[in-house]
Amino acid sequence: MRASVDSSFLESVNQLFERAANLIELPPGLKEKIQICNSTYTVRFGVRMRGKIQTFTGYRSVHSEHMEPVKGGIRYSLGVSQNEVEALAALMTYKCAIVETPFGGSKGGLRIDPTQYSDEELERITRRFAYELIKRDLINPSQNVPAPDMGTSETEMAIIADQYNRMNTTDINSRACVTGKPLTSGGIHGRVEATGRGIQYALQEFFRHPDDIKRTGLKGTLANKRIILHGFGNVGYHAGLFLQQEDDAVIIGIANVDGGLYDPKGLDVADLQKHLKAGQTFKNYPKGEFLENGLKLLECECDILIPAAVEGVITTANASQIKAPLIIEAANGPITAEADAELNRRGIIIIPDTFANAGGVTVSYFEWVKNLSHIRFGRMQRRQEEYRSRLLIDEMNRLFASSDYPFRFHEDFIRRYLQGAGEIELVRSGLDDTMRLAYQSISEILHTRPEVNDLRTAAFLLAIERVATSYKNKGL
Ligand code: NAD
């Protein structure tokens, strides 16, 4: 997909890092210390299946341990390589610093096409991969905590948690060894959709900043903005669903690995997902125009482009054809360093991956804290909050009833006012707060430091300064 003149994923991440790092003074050697990947473990293991031993190759890369545990997803894909996991691990370091989750950066991957294996085979492969990582503390609640990424889901996370528990039967914090688990295995409400939800919150915050909106030439709010989604997996689907259902955006294009659909009047995200869940394809979806090559959708006219699939889809080969004035990177590394430079030259605004897709790790942080505290968020205070609110409403109703202007609160208002916050409300509130604050910090750098011209450089600067402070505090 990447044009030959474009840098590899890892080279791109390093070039974009350096663009920012070169703008600040750091003690000698610290820039290299922050940038370099600390270690990458490669494992090759065999699993007996279908009458023979099949050998698989997997990686777990630790980019920075300035904070521990280190954090980052595990990807199942045929594209997995050392270059890829190291690039993804580096992005995790910067991402965690930007959204202030107290982790270093890590990432893992297994070179496998998960669609070619049955559920039982995938369980055996996942258990064996997890075993190899657990015995080297590359999965551990206090040292290295994975999560889902492309090709994995809460199913694999539940298997990893169970495998860790089998190998560490007396570890009371064993559930915190991995996040993105199902609720029944110690997961948290709102984790599955967290990255897509984070994209929505990031865009909402962007549209609260008139100076930033002005740079795109767009006007108003998210309502009626024409959006194209490239990637319709966990992240793309949820981002599209929330933006359509809650912000009244119009999703005019959706692509996945099998092709794309285009309809200028808007596609129904939930309906398309229902169609796919029923075993159908993009090609036989009865609405919209089908495009054999989904990449072509990247070049269509729209207001907001959301790459939400894989890295390196916007390169020097197609950057000049991009028409969206605003791109938000839901995927990791969808734009090569060279394409990024060209898009910047053309005045296209990019909300970068290091911030935009941090919703997943943010809610993973909440899940990890929940696992370590062994209690669901809101369990202690919810009814107490309701009780105190009820006291206030009853007293006000009593006072107003005996006044010269008899008045009672409306029943619907009372019901909503009395509702104490449960786990999902707290998770959403924490995620929204995180995305707002992180965007405000990035935007402030963009507007107060004349040497910074784009949001990506601003985000990198924020991350580098935070990681540098952390190293300095450690006496390094
Ligand atoms: P997923 O496996 O659920 O979905 C991947 C989607 O990309 C699918 O729709 C697939 O068809 C599509 N796709 C794959 N290759 C493609 C190609 N060559 N062209 C077009 N479409 C292609 O994965 P996901 O969890 O949604 O992750 C998507 C991206 O978001 C990845 O870059 C991942 O690193 C990033 N991300 C995910 C999370 C998370 O919580 N899952 C968090 C942060 C970042």
C-alpha to C-alpha distance for 139 and 160, rounded to whole angstroms: 9
Q: Which atom of ligand 1 is nearest to the CA of 294?
A: 20
Query: What pLDDT, on a 0 to 100 scale, did the predictor assign at position 125?
Result: 98
Q: How many helices (H) and strands (E) does the chain have?
A: 16, 13
Q: Is 235 in the pocket of ligand 1 (CB under 6 A)?
A: yes
Q: Is the pLDDT at 327 greater than 60, yes or no?
A: yes
Q: How far is CA 146 from CA 134, 165, 190, in A?
A: 11, 15, 17
Q: Could you give the CA distance from residue 201 to residue 359 in angstroms, rounded to a whole number?
A: 9
Ligand 1 pocket, 78 CB below 6 A? no
What is the predicted pLDDT for the residue at 3?
A: 52
CB 147 within 8 A of CB 359: no
Please state the atom number of ligand 1 nearest to the C-alpha of residue 194.
40
86-118 residue pLDDT tens: 999 999 999 999 999 999 999 999 999 999 999
What angle, rounded to 10 degrees, do the helices at 455-473 and 423-448 form? 100
For 287, list phi and psi in degrees, rounded to 5: -115, 155
Host H or E run for residue 409: none
Ligand 1 mean position to 256 CA, how many Å? 9
Burial zone of 83 (CB within 10 Å; 0-12 exposed, 13-18 middle, 19+ buried): middle
Identified catalytic residue from 107, 181, 225, 370: 107
Is 17 close to ligand 1, i.e. is its CB under 6 Å away? no
Closest residue by Cα to atom 43, ligand 1, is 357
Q: Is the CB of 231 under 6 A from ligand 1?
A: yes
Share of the chain above pLDDT 90, in %: 95
For residue 201, which of 435, 471, 472 has the smallest C-alpha distance? 435
Q: Find, among 130, 145, 255, 150, the residue nearest to 195 by Cα.
A: 150
In 3D, which of 118, 115, 193 has the Cα closest to residue 148?
193
State the Cα–Cα distance between residues 374 and 229, nearest whole angstrom: 38
pLDDT digits (tens, 9 = 90+) for 131-190: 999 999 999 999 999 999 999 999 999 999 999 999 999 999 999 999 999 999 999 999
**Residue 259 above 90 pLDDT?**
yes
* Residue 334 alpha carbon, nearest atom of ligand 1: 32
Strand partners, 228: 253, 305
Average pLDDT for 426-435: 98
Do the bridges between strand 250-256 and strand 259-262 make them parallel or antiparallel, or are there none, so unpaired? Answer: antiparallel
- Between the CA of residue 193 and those of 157, 189, 236, what are the distances in Å? 15, 9, 10
453's enclosing H/E stretch is: none
| pTM check: above 0.85 | yes
Are 241 and 217 in contact, with CB atoms under 8 Å apart?
A: no
Kindly state if the Cβ of 309 falls inside 6 Å of ligand 1.
yes
Residue 284 CA, ligand 1 centroid: distance in Å: 22
Check pLDDT > 90 for residue 17: yes
Ligand 1 pocket residue status of 149, Cβ below 6 Å: yes
For residue 408, name the pLDDT band (cuts at 50, 70, 90): confident
Q: Is 233 in the pocket of ligand 1 (CB under 6 A)?
A: yes
Q: Is 287 annotated in the active site?
A: no
Nearest CA owner, ligand 1 atom 36: 331
Instruction: Assess contact for 233 and 391: CB atoms under 8 A.
Output: no
Residue nearest (by alpha carbon) to ligand 1 atom 31: 331
Query: Residue 462 pLDDT > 90, yes or no?
Result: yes
C-alpha 121 – ligand 1 centre gap (Å): 22
Residue identifier of the C-alpha nearest atom 24 of ligand 1:
150
Is the distance from CB of 348 to CB of 327 less than 8 angstroms? yes
DSSP state of 358: T
Q: Give the per-residue pLDDT at 55.
A: 98
Residue with tokens 């295995």: 185
* Residue partners of 23: CB distance under 8 A and separation at least 6: 449, 451, 452, 457, 461
What average pLDDT is seen over the chain?
Answer: 96
Q: How far is the CA of 165 from the centre of ligand 1 (A)?
A: 29
354-381 confidence digits (pLDDT tens): 999 999 999 999 999 999 999 999 999 9
| Whole-number Å distance between alpha carbons of 138 and 123 | 19
Distance CA(31)–CA(51), nearest Å, equals 51
Residue 76 in this model has a pLDDT that exceeds 60: yes
Going by pLDDT thresholds of 50, 70 and 90, the confidence category of residue 406 is confident
CA distances from 33 to 9, 21, 66, 68 (A): 20, 12, 10, 16
Our CA dihedral for 265, 281, 318, 4, rounded to 10 degrees, sits at 170
Atom of ligand 1 lying closest to residue 332 CA = 32
Mean pLDDT of 294-302: 97
- Classify strands 144-145 and 259-262 as parallel, antiparallel or unpaired: unpaired
Say how far apart CA 191 and CA 179 lie, in whole Å: 9
Taking 3-state DSSP, the helix, strand and coil percentages for the chain, each rounded to the nearest 5, stand at 50, 15, 35
Pocket of ligand 1 contains residue 254 by CB under 6 Å: no
Q: Which atom of ligand 1 is nearest to the CA of 151?
A: 2
User: Which is more confident, 42 or 403?
Assistant: 42
Give the pLDDT of residue 2: 52
Residue among 145, 195, 115, 107 at smallest CA distance from 372: 145
- 225, 303 contact by CB (below 8 A): yes
Consecutive H or E run containing 19: helix 9-21
